[in-house]
């Protein structure tokens, strides 16, 4: 069972660079002389920004990582449920499955708390794209 889990984690880390590069590709600068006016018009119609801030890039990376953490939580939930269902009355296996499930839920709560804190800070701080303060000024 550990081999399957490690294979999934390694697979996710092999996919991660492709997803990050694809998400950052949407933030590229369209002010190049090589891009013709038709492509610029298409980018404007699609709503792709021509300038990208550091806060937007960081927020995109955080969203990608949170997506991966959600996938890892789902995998851990499925694996622990499978262990629990196939325990066949073995109390040790049921305890291991419960422990895995409990740890997965605790990890999800920690990740969600970190996301809430981060998004709140990005809204409050002036460089985060928010109003520059609590009053939204």
> Is the pLDDT assigned to residue 106 strictly greater than 90?
yes
Nearest to 112 by CA among 123, 104, 100, 124: 104
DSSP state of 88: T
> Is the pLDDT assigned to residue 3 strictly greater than 80?
no
- pLDDT level of residue 23 (50, 70, 90 thresholds): low
- pLDDT level of residue 86 (50, 70, 90 thresholds): very high
Give pTM, 2 decimals. 0.53
pLDDT at 129: 54
- pLDDT level of residue 85 (50, 70, 90 thresholds): very high
């Amino acid at each position: 069972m550990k081999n399957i889990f490690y294979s999934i984690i390694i697979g996710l880390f092999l996919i991660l660079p492709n997803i990050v590069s694809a998400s950052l590709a949407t933030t590229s600068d369209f002010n190049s002389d090589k891009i013709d006016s038709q492509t610029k018009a298409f980018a404007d119609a699609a709503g792709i920004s021509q300038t990208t801030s550091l806060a937007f890039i960081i927020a995109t990376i955080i969203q990608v990582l949170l997506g991966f953490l959600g996938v890892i939580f789902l995998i851990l939930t499925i694996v622990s449920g499978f262990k629990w269902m196939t325990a066949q009355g073995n109390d040790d296996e049921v305890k291991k499955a419960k422990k895995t499930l409990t740890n997965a839920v605790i990890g999800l709560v920690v990740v969600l708390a970190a996301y809430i804190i981060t998004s709140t800070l990005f809204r409050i701080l002036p460089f985060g794209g928010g109003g520059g303060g609590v009053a939204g000024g």
